[in-house]
Structure 1
Amino acid sequence: MRFSTLAFTAFASSALAFPSIGSLISRQEPTCMTRAEAKEIVDIYVRLIANYKEEDCIKYCAEDFVDRSDSINTFTFKPLGGPTFATKQIFMEAQAVNMAFPVVLDSIDAVDCESIALRWHATFGAANLPSRGITIIGTTKREGYWQIKSIDVEFNSLIWLLNMGGNYTWEP
């Protein structure tokens, strides 16, 4: 009898020390995007830049969206290191009047739980030279689907300047 009382006490105290199976099942790991979902987000990003439609931005850009790019900030005389488009609304207003650029996806290099790294190029305009860029897309899963929360993009801004018809002088 003594053995069974000790065994019961040990079992009962171990049950208190370990979470129940029900509580383990109810805990959910963060949802991570698949490579297929990442490709869909990249396709949306390319549309936002190369073939802007307001409905894409309304649906697929999160309400707390931000875009950062020192490459663009140099053209728009914004402080380096600061946001280029601090809100979804500012981004939408800018994209509505910007000319489309032919963004060509070169590769999706990394997909993390909520981030995508990609390389691209755009060849257009007066110089018709390829300007290469790197973009990191931060995402969030809301409304039951993935949305773009942040865009961090840098590209060869001197080539971009030449393609837009500008020029620069090299002085060693």
Structure 2
Amino acid sequence: MVSALPGPLAAQGTPAAPAAGPSSGLQLPRFVSLKSDRVNLRQGPGMEYPTAWVFRRAGLPVEVIKEFESWRQVRDAEGTTGWVLGTMLSGRRTAVVLPWEAGAGGSAVAMLRDDDSEGAAVVARLEAGVLASIISCDGRWCRVSVGGVRGYVEQSKLWGAYAGEVIK
């Protein structure tokens, strides 16, 4: 199987009480992104496990939910879980716009604004499934870059940042 864009999924909430990963010492769960445009999602933490899925989009956000040595168990925006070699992941924060609306046949959009308020001018309309680079988030709004255009989008419209999470 090949995954190009995430499909429907309910918006993520705040993660359960964070714990440190046994291998990295970093918070679990946490969002990261894929380093390569071809990343194998395996059924277990090792090369001997079969490939269950192949991600084909560098920069796609995934949520690390477990660690075992150099392997990370991740979940994508569709809820698919599996194991990825840690070297295939980046700490660079990205997000998918309204992935729970992508492929629903509708025309769901999120407004990219020139400031962090609902009354600010609209810079662009971001369709469901668009990949954005996160610059920062204040817990309600995220400053993002999409195709070289920067602006602010409501954090609740993104999969790749937890509700209320501050990213500097």
Compare CA radii of gyration and give the structure with the larger one.
Answer: 1
Give the TM bin, normalised by the shorter chain. under 0.3
- TM-score of the two chains, using structure 2 as the length reference: 0.24
- TM-score of the two chains, using structure 1 as the length reference: 0.24
More strand by share: 2
